[in-house]
C-alpha cells in the first residue's frame, strides 16, 4: 500500500550536535507504525520535523505524495496531518465536550465539506469512552483521560495521518489496554497512525511495523517479532524485556 507519510534522509543538527542522522521511514494507512528508542534518541525531534515545527538540515518530508518539507505547520494540517504532544495542550477553561467541539469548528474554517461540529464531537466522545466526563472541565479529569481529549481534538480534523507523542503517559494499565484497542480500531478504519511511545508493550501490541532510533540513528526496523529479537535494539534498551 502506498504510504501517506514519508521521511527521506532526515538530518537535524543543533550546532555541532546531530539529533537525527539520515533517518527514512514510511507510514501507511490502515495500520499503526511505531517509533521507539531510549530517551534522547531523537523521536520527538523527528516528529517536530514531520509537523513543520523544525526545518531539517537535510532530507525531505512527503505527505500524500507532496513534498511539504518547507511548508508551515498549518498547511500540513490542512493536508491531513494531526498530532498530539508529550505535554498536554488543552483549553483548561473549557469542558471535555467543548475542547473537542472547538477543533471541529476551527476545521470548518478551512476544510470542505464542512462537518456538524456538535454531532461529530458527540461521535468522537463516544468513540473515546469519554461520555461520563463530557461536561466536566478538562482540568478536573485524570491525565489519562485528558490525553484522550487531546486525541479527540485531533480526530475532529479528520486526519489522514495521526502522530501521537507519548499518548499513554499518565494512563493506568486498564486505560492503556483500552487505548491500545482504540488505536487498532482507528487504523482499521483507514487512519495512518504514527506512534511514539515509551510503553514498549503497548507498541508491540498495536504496531504492524516499528522503527527504532538510538542517538538519532535508525538502528532497526521491522515487524514486532523482528524487533523483539534484534540484538542492537536489546543493547539500546540495556536488556529490558521487549515482550
pLDDT per position as a tens digit, 197-232: 999 899 999 999 999 999 999 999 999 999 999 999
Label residue 239 by pLDDT band (50, 70, 90). Answer: low
pLDDT per position as a tens digit, 75-106: 999 999 999 998 888 999 999 999 999 999 99
Give the CA dihedral 116, 121, 124, 129, nearest 10 degrees: -150
State how far the Cα of 41 lies from the Cα of 39, in Å rounded to an integer: 6
State pTM to two decimals.
0.92
Q: Which three cell numbers stand for residue 92?
A: 483548561
Q: What is the pLDDT at residue 139? A: 93
Q: What is the pLDDT at residue 187? A: 95
Q: What is the pLDDT at residue 78? A: 94
Beta bridge partners of 101: none
Query: Which letter, b or e, does each residue of 198-237 get, where b requires 16 or more Cβ atoms within 10 Å of its Cβ?
Result: ebbbbbbbbbebbbbbbebbbbbbeebeebbebeebbebb
Q: Once rounded to an integer, what is the mean pLDDT over residues 20-32?
A: 97
Q: Does the domain at residues 1-80+161-167+175-243 carry the CATH identifier 3.40.50.300?
A: yes
Of 59-63, 141-145, 191-195, the range with the lowest mean pLDDT is 141-145
- Going from N- to C-terminal start, the domains of the chain cover 1-80+161-167+175-243, 86-158
Average pLDDT over the chain, rounded to whole?
94
Label residue 171 by pLDDT band (50, 70, 90). Answer: confident
Amino acid at each position: 500500500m502506498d504510504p501517506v507519510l514519508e521521511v527521506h534522509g532526515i538530518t537535524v543538527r543543533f550546532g555541532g550536535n546531530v539529533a537525527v542522522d539520515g533517518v527514512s521511514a514510511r507510514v501507511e494507512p490502515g495500520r499503526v507504525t511505531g517509533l521507539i528508542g531510549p530517551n534522547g534518541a531523537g523521536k520527538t525531534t523527528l516528529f517536530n520535523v514531520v509537523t513543520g515545527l523544525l526545518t531539517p538540515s537535510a532530507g525531505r518530508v512527503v505527505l500524500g505524495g507532496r513534498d511539504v518539507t518547507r511548508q508551515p505547520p498549518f498547511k500540513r494540517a490542512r493536508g491531513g496531518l494531526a498530532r498530539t504532544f508529550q505535554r498536554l495542550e488543552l483549553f483548561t477553561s473549557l469542558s471535555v465536550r467543548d475542547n473537542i467541539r472547538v477543533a471541529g469548528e476551527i476545521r470548518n474554517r478551512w476544510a470542505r465539506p464542512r462537518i456538524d461540529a456538535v454531532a461529530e464531537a458527540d461521535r468522537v466522545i463516544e468513540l473515546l469512552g469519554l461520555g461520563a466526563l463530557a461536561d466536566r472541565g478538562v482540568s478536573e479529569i485524570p491525565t489519562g483521560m485528558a490525553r484522550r481529549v487531546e486525541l479527540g481534538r485531533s480526530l475532529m480534523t479528520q486526519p489522514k495521518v495521526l502522530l501521537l507523542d507519548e499518548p499513554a503517559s499518565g494512563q493506568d494499565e486498564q486505560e492503556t489496554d483500552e487505548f491500545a484497542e482504540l488505536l487498532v480500531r482507528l487504523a482499521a478504519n483507514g487512519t495512518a497512525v504514527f506512534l511514539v511511545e515509551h510503553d514498549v508493550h503497548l507498541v508491540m501490541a498495536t504496531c504492524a511495523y516499528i522503527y527504532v532510533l538510538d542517538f538519532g540513528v535508525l538502528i532497526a526496523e521491522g515487524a514486532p517479532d523482528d524487533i523483539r529479537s534484534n540484538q542492537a535494539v536489546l543493547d539500546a534498551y540495556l536488556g529490558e524485556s521487549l515482550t
